[in-house]
Every structure is written in C-alpha cells, then in structure tokens.
Amino acid sequence: MSSAKVEEKLFQNRYRVDAGRPHIGIKNPEICASSCTTQHCTVCCPAGCYTLEGNGRVVLITDGCLECGTCRIICEEHRNVAWEYPRGGYGILFKFG
Amino acid sequence: MAHKFDAIVVGAGPAGNAAAYTLAAGGCKVLQIERGEYPGSKNVQGAILYSDALERIIPDFRDDAPLERHIIEQRLWVLDDESFVGSHYRSDNFNKPPHNRYTIIRAQFDKWFSQRVQQAGALLICETTVSDLILDRGRVIGVQTDRLGGSVYADVVILADGVNSMLARKAGFRPELRPAEVALAVKEIHFLPQEVLESRFNVSGDAGVVIEMMGKITKGMMGTGFLYTNKESLTIGVGCVLSDFKKQKCSPNQLLEEMKAHPAIAPLLEGGEMKEYAAHLIPEGGYNAIPKIHGDGWLVAGDAGMFVNSVHREGSNLAMTSGRIAAETVLALAAAGKPYTARNLARYREQLDASFVMKDLKKYRNMPEVLHRNPQFFTTYPELINSAAHTMLRVDGVDKKTKEKEIRSSFTARRSLFGLVGDAYKMWRAFE
C-alpha cells in the first residue's frame, strides 16, 4: 500500500529533475547487497527513493527526492550514501513548503 | 559582480533572512546565496510564525507579510487507536491585535521576507548551491558555488544552510548528525473551501486553530502529530525521532496515512484536496547536541546550529533570533574595527547564551534523553488515560467507586506504583 501511495503523493509535487546527474549516490552497491543486513533506507526514505530488488540489491532513483537527509544519516553503520544538494535550481521546488 | 563582500549569508530561510536583513540594514555589503529557484522553494515548516522574533527585526511585518490565520485556539490531544483525551484552550484575547502567532505557508512567507531583505540592500542570488567553504590557514575567506567561476569572497560567512549543515560538516567544523538528534517529519497540505474549514473548526475571519497530537499515532516512537488551519487549507503532519523510525522499521509515509485515517482526524480532512507532500528533518538533539557555532571568519545560525526547542515546538523564532544576533555581532565588530577572529566572534555565543534561545534549550537539556529512555510516555500512558476516560464516562450500571478502583489497578498493573512515581519524578525533573 505505502509504496504505491507515496508515488501518487509525489505526483502532486513540483520538481526540476537534473537528468543524468543524480545528487545522491550509493558509494559501493556491494556493501548494500552483502554487508548491510537492515537496509533501512528502503523503509525510512519518506519519498521511497530506495527500493529493494529481489536479489538483495538496493536501487536508488532520486527523481522524487525531498532533500531531507534521512538516508545519509540512517546509514551510520556503513556511511555508504554520497549525499549532496542538487545543483542550484534543480530538485524539489516546494509550492507551499 | 564584485567578488568580494563584507559578508556572505548562505541560505534564505528564517535564519539567513534575519541575518542578511540585519547586516544590510546596518550598512554592510552583503551577498546572500540561495539554492532554490526562489527563497522558500526548498524550505519546509509546520508552519507557525511567532510574532515576537520577527517583530524585533521587521516591526511592521503585519502590513504586508503573507499570514494565514492568527491562532486563537490550541488543542492538545492524547490519542489511542479509537479515541483521544484532549484539552482545548481558546481565548478571545488572542483575537486582539497585535496577534501573537500565525499559521504561514513558507514558500510565500520566505519570498516576502526575502523581498524585505533585498529592499534593505542585500544582494540575493538564487539557483546557486554553495558546495564548499574556501579556507585559508583555517580561516573561512569565502565560498565555492556551482556557478561558472563560482568563488566569492567575504570577510565573514554566516552559515544558515539548514539542518543538514553540509558546509560546516564538509569543512570539518562539526561531526555528522546522529539519528537520535533529528526528527523526521512528513506533512501534507489539503485545500478546502474556506467556509467549510471555518465551520469545521468553529472559527471566522482570520482566526485559526492548531492541534498538537501525541500517543498511539506515533506507534511508540518519540514524536508528535499536528494539524494547523491555514486560510483555505489544512496542514497535517507527523514527526518522530529518526532513530525510532530506524529501530521500528517504520515507513514515514505509512505512519502519516494511518494517522490521517484515525477516526478523530479523518472527518477533519474530509473532502480536502491534497496538493503537496513534503518531508524535512528537525534538529531536536537539544542543548547537548549544539555543535561549534563560530570560528575564524564564520558563524552558524538557525537549524544548522540545532536551535530548536522541541518541547515547545519552536524553531523559526530561534532561527530568526540567532540570525539577527549573528549579524549584530558582525556589525558590532565592524564598528569597532575588529577582525572576525574566532575569539572576537565568541561574542555571538555569549549573546545567544544571554537570550531565550540558549536559556530555553538549556532548561530542557535532559528532555530528549528522558523521552528516549522512557517510551511509555508515548504508548502506555495515552492508552491508560483514554481507557480511564472510557471507563468513567461509559454508563453501564457499575458504580463509580468500583470504576475508580478499576482505573487505579489498570495504572499499577501496567506501570507499577514505583513506575508511576518514577515517571512523574522524571517528567518533573526534565521540565524543572
């Protein structure tokens, strides 16, 4: 229920996507797949940007990112999230905030 | 564009705008850099504006600031799954101008504040992300932006770049935030016809209501929910400490969905049209989590400095106040012809210590720890209180004395007598 719902919600938001230049990246995907047992990012990201694939890998798509910082901070055991703000003018553009 | 300024302010939220306004009004040549398309486009808040902090910067703000409703009624609800026990405080005194606090919509409010900042003489550039501080032998001398040829220099830089405080962290001035030091809040805005909203919340004119909620809605996590009335819309949200989201493997979106479906909340939202979903971190680590806030050539203001009083749900007023005091510190040193060394800028910390900002944070310094260690305040007590109310109010032929006994034994069964006394003591100590 929740993942479908969050996509519908993000549809209401305004974004300017920096195509081909995601501002957040997974440093080493192997760590998510093998060393990380909890994969909290796939649950706690409020925009559902992180999804768990059947083979245990974590896939990140930053298009719906709300730029909160949650994923970087909860990945405290592995510090495997390379996190920057989008380039100036890109990313979420809150109409109300 | 000249590449050397007296001061650079990073960010155009409440702290950055307060700082840039105060600097510009004081005759300082100031550059303000904002990464959003316009000021406010990256900013998220509940949002309640407390008049006092803004009044000290822009006394006539009420003339043209986009304010939604002044608050005349505060409700506090303690919820279990089916019910809530609540208190309401409503006073016609709050209807008398000048009003004490307002609901605002940040995208509009920040744009307005920024216009005032620019009228005061600050130069604002938007759509520009500051990627790093430029240091020379440990001293901040400017900022690196993502624009072409993007180095800009200044005698002092005020970092009002928000809760994530990327710049101070990258420069090694502070450690990474810990999940226990921040709350993750998610919220939505729902639009309703004004007359429906006003009759539903029993208000008229520009008056409004706020509801703060705690209890089962946060599923045992340390946090609160809120519902605020704007002119033609409602803001509903919930925030919990991030370490609890992590521990409980809880989806924030799911949490908000379940809260919206609560039988006491759903009817208030009925018929509304959801137009935006937002998430934001709130620095709730309190006094003990405040990082270093000044150094050679730099100052930190607002959320980046952890200036949030989570007990009283205050943040933007602390942000504005810290931004103003940071700017006043700079102006005072400039007037005295003194350099912006860490030693001289320590005056900022002293002034903050003497203000309500640090005094309030200090008063509640143990609160985050007490609540972290005692989740019963968010689970057991809301259930007990609701079931006590249910027992007393349900007319079923059982006499009241027996009911009282039943309630007493439900409390001691769940928390024991020592537990109850201990909890009361912990709360008293934390609030003292």
Q: What is the pLDDT of residues A44-81, one digit of tens each?
A: 999 999 999 989 999 999 999 999 999 999 999 999 99
- Percent of chain A with pLDDT strictly greater than 90: 92
Q: Is A17 in CB contact (< 8 Å) with chain B?
A: no
- Calpha distance B369→B246 (Å, rounded): 17
Chain A residues in contact with B233 (beta carbon < 8 A): 96
Are B188 and B276 in contact, with CB atoms under 8 Å apart? yes
Name the pLDDT band for A4 (thresholds 50, 70, 90). Answer: low
Interface of B with A in 76-105 (CB under 8 A): 105
pLDDT at B416: 86
Contacts of B162 (CB under 8 A, 6+ apart): B11, B13, B42, B43, B302, B303, B304
- The 3 state secondary structure assigned to B32-97 is EECCCCCCCCCCCCCCEEEHHHHHCCCCCHHHCCCCCEEEEEEEEEEECCCCEEEEEEECHHHHCC
pLDDT at B427: 81
pLDDT at B89: 95
Task: List beta partners, residue B22.
Answer: none
pLDDT at B373: 84
Q: Which residue has the tokens 């005020």?
A: B158
Q: Tally Cβ neighbours within 10 Å of residue A20.
A: 5
Nearest to A12 among B146, B276, B281 (CB): B276
Nearest to A12 among B179, B250, B277 (CB): B277
Q: Is A54 in CB contact (< 8 Å) with chain B?
A: no
Structure-derived torsion over alpha carbons of residues B164, B170, B173, B175, reported in degrees to the nearest 10:
60
Q: In terms of Cα–Cα distance, which of B169, B167, B157, B165 is closest to B20? A: B157
A46 to B250: CB separation less than 8 angstroms, yes or no = no
B246 to A66: CB separation less than 8 angstroms, yes or no = no
- Calpha distance A97→B233 (Å, rounded): 13
Nearest to B106 among A9, A76, A97 (CB): A97
- Percent of chain B with pLDDT strictly greater than 90: 89
Ranges of chain B with pLDDT below 50:
1-2
- Calpha distance B340→B327 (Å, rounded): 12
Interface of B with A in 33-52 (CB under 8 A): 35-37, 40-45, 47
Give pTM, 2 decimals. Answer: 0.95
B279 to A70: CB separation less than 8 angstroms, yes or no = yes
Chain B residues in contact with A52 (beta carbon < 8 A): none
pLDDT at A2: 47
A44 to B164: CB separation less than 8 angstroms, yes or no = no
